Amino acid sequence: MIVILYAHPYPDRSRANRALLRSVEDLPYVSVRSLYDLYPDFAIDVEAEQRALADASAVVLQHPMYWYSVPGLLKLWFDKVLARGWAYGDGGDALADKRCLWVTTTGAPESGFSPEGMHGHSFHAFVPAIEQTVRFCKMRWEEPLVLHGAHRVDDERIAELARSYRARLEALAGATGGAP
């Protein structure tokens, strides 16, 4: 089972993320948890979340970038669900060796991510907090899928990334025995 943690604060306004999600959600070994639908009141059910991940062979974090990071609800999910003794620390092995794929979109084109650009840094500067969260829980960090300029890219570029996304999940399922 591959669990997709989908965190889009405004699913109705999403173009790229929705298309990406649609391209993979029919895979029989994929389970989507749409966090903003599950927890509109931010009252995350920690036990349910931990249970949902227990049998997963791989975890996908899919979200648009908000302020150079994950949206607030996914950050809260990190704070609550990735608990000491479960995800890290003594006895905290629940996620160990699961593969983790980060799938994210940015509004600005990639050219905005440079020392001279509007975001002042290359995109890589914003990766460590996410990657290290994953690694601290002893998951395996997979090469991320990133779509820049999601507000303006054409449909073909989105479709291309959607195909890559599907292929990546198929490969993950094969590699981890997650396929039926």
Which 43-72 residues touch a copy of itself, going by CB under 8 A? 66-72
The structure tokens 């003594």 sit at 90
For 117, counting Cβ atoms within 10 Å of its Cβ (0-12 exposed, 13-18 middle, 19+ buried), the class is middle
177 Cβ contact partners less than 8 Å away, ≥ 6 residues apart:
57
- 135 lies in the site for a copy of itself, by CB under 8 A: yes
- 11 lies in the site for a copy of itself, by CB under 8 A: no
d(CA 6, CA 165): 14
d(CA 54, CA 159): 31
- Helix count and strand count (H, E) for the chain: 6, 6
Instruction: Pick the closer one to a copy of itself by CB: 81 or 173.
Output: 81
Which 113-132 residues touch a copy of itself, going by CB under 8 A? 118-121, 125-126, 128-129, 132
Instruction: Pick the closer one to a copy of itself by CB: 85 or 120.
Output: 120
Which 76-115 residues touch a copy of itself, going by CB under 8 A? 76-80, 82
Query: Least distance to a copy of itself from the beta carbon of 14, Å?
Result: 15
Query: Least distance to a copy of itself from the beta carbon of 74, Å?
Result: 8
d(CA 45, CA 62): 19
Phi-psi region of 68 (alpha: psi -120 to 50; beta: other; left: phi over 0): left
Residue 32 structure tokens: 């989507």
**Binding residue for a copy of itself, selected from 73, 103, 150, 158, defined by CB under 8 A:** 73
Instruction: Pick the closer one to a copy of itself by CB: 26 or 41.
Output: 41
Query: Least distance to a copy of itself from the beta carbon of 134, Å?
Result: 10
Question: Which residues here bind a copy of itself, judged by CB under 8 A?
Answer: 9, 41-42, 66-73, 75-80, 82, 118-121, 125-126, 128-129, 132-133, 135-136
